[in-house]
Amino acid sequence: MHYIALIVIIICLIAIAYRDLKSGLISLAGILLAASLFYFFSPNDSPRGKTQRLLDDVDISQTSISLGYADGFVLELRIHNNNHEQVLQNFTVQSSLSDCNADQSQCLVIGEEKNVVKLRIPPRQARDTNINLRTKQLNPIQGIAVWKHQITNVK
């Protein structure tokens, strides 16, 4: 849509420049200056701002693990967007399963998985989601199973 508007503006500028070259060039320079100022000083919804997501703006809460399909697990969690301006989406959630001793001072990671969650969360809101964790031939747990989840990437 922006390209159509740009083509119409260029055609109008060519028509102005055909009659009066000086005013056509001044109009072109003004439009280019306004467009570059708009691009650099626009809010974070611009394409440049979409890649600059801060992981500090995302929290996970209300996690629960249950048995799932084919010896896997289902992770249910709530993802919070604490940012006041940006809509966040496409989260990478890293989950790890550790086998720990009774006081959890020594833990051995026995399973780890990353999953991309395609979820759109508006500013200062939260969404619930679930993830199927597929485990491959886990060794039997000798001590206490400890799950850890964190968001490693936001796009």
Domain boundaries, the chain: 2-41, 54-154
Distance in angstroms (rounded) separating the CA atoms of residues 14 and 5: 14
Q: What is the pLDDT along the chain (155 residues), one digit of tens a residue?
A: 567 777 777 777 777 777 777 777 787 788 888 877 777 776 655 443 443 446 888 999 999 999 888 778 899 999 999 989 888 888 999 999 999 998 989 999 988 999 999 999 999 999 999 999 887 657 778 899 899 999 988 87
The letter for the amino acid at 45 is D
Structure-token pair, residue 48? 């440049």
CATH class belonging to 54-154: mainly beta
pTM: 0.63
Distance in angstroms (rounded) separating the CA atoms of residues 112 and 144: 16
Distance in angstroms (rounded) separating the CA atoms of residues 96 and 138: 12
At 54 the pLDDT is 66
At 18 the pLDDT is 74
The letter for the amino acid at 49 is G
What angle do helix axes 21-40 and 2-19 make, rounded to 10 degrees? Answer: 150
Instruction: Give the residue from 95, 128, 122, 121 showing the smallest Cα distance to 110.
Output: 95
| Beta carbons of 57 and 91 less than 8 angstroms apart | no
Distance in angstroms (rounded) separating the CA atoms of residues 128 and 80: 9
Distance in angstroms (rounded) separating the CA atoms of residues 15 and 65: 66
At 2 the pLDDT is 67
